[in-house]
Copies of this chain bind each other. A is one copy, B any other.
């Protein structure tokens, strides 16, 4: 299940950065492969920078960042260097500037519209999860098939529509990402509907194998796999290691 392994070839179209005396940092032309491990870390770095920015820190070296958040300094530098020369030798990185760059690279600088499929416990919880809106995601709508749910809203006000309205809303609201929070049995068919509505990125919370066509990115968070992984750890520790 989930063989994934998607790789992205980057088209560097980063804007030329202006230094004081405008020595203009290199604009990359090369296509480079970026692994998902790297993009996940970019997201982590962004969270670190948010924290630093909030506490008034202006510049930070890869070393300092690594120590404070338990990362590896060389890896931070390498990850960032894929996307441009954001640092200043002898100084480090300007927090605000790097933060801005990361938001742009991650594509969240202009807001991303999201829908949630399934207005059950999990769907409703995700709809009102405050962390999303904070980072530039907007949960625009939820979809369900249950009559008694359609027409209502989540506590925070996310409206619940009939699944048949998906296509329309996706087009109207320029939805970019769908979150799958339906029972396992319905998951594949809901994913199919989502894909056919034109959505290209899916965050899946249902367990098991989901297939998507090429060009569609599926990311699965399998809660059972996670718990079982922890259970394995405990089972190993048990007999006197």
| A interface residues (Cβ-Cβ under 8 A, vs B) | 1-3, 6, 8-11, 13, 36, 39-40, 42-44, 46-48, 51, 69-72, 105-108, 112, 114, 120-122, 124-126, 128-132, 134-135, 137, 155, 176-177, 183-184, 200-203, 207-209, 211, 215, 217, 219, 221-241
The answer for the CA separation of A124 and B11 in the assembled complex, in Å, is 43
Take A40-B225, A227-B137 as given contacts and tell me if A208 and B122 are in contact as well, using a CB distance cutoff of 8 Å: no
| Cβ of A136 to closest chain B Cβ, rounded Å | 8
Most buried by B among A72, A211, A232: A232
A114 to B226, CA, bound (A): 13
Contacts of A234 in B (CB 8 A): 107, 112, 176-177, 200-201, 217
On chain B, the residues within 8 Å of A177 by CB distance are: 227, 230-231, 234
Residue of B124, B224, B235, B238 near A132 (CB, 8 A) is: B224
Contacts of A122 on B, CB cut-off 8 Å? 125-126, 129
CB of A38 to closest CB in B, whole Å: 9
Closest to A135 in B: B224
Which B residues lie within 8 Å of A225 (CB)? 40, 43-44
Q: B11 touching A43 by the CB < 8 A rule?
A: no
What is the count of identical protomers in the complex? Answer: 2
Question: Which residues of chain B come closer than 8 Å to A238, judged between CB atoms?
Answer: 107
Of B126, B184, B232, B239, the contact of A39 (CB 8 Å cutoff): B232
Asked if A226 meets B232 with Cβ closer than 8 Å, knowing A11-B239, A125-B125, the reply is no
CA distance A183 to B183 in the complex (A): 26
Chain B contacts for A184, CB-based, 8 A? 131
Kindly list the 8 A-B residue pairs having the minimum CB-CB distance in the complex, ordered from nearest. A107-B235, A121-B125, A201-B230, A125-B125, A43-B228, A43-B225, A217-B233, A107-B231
Return chain B residues, CB-CB under 8 Å to A224: 43, 47, 131-132, 134-135
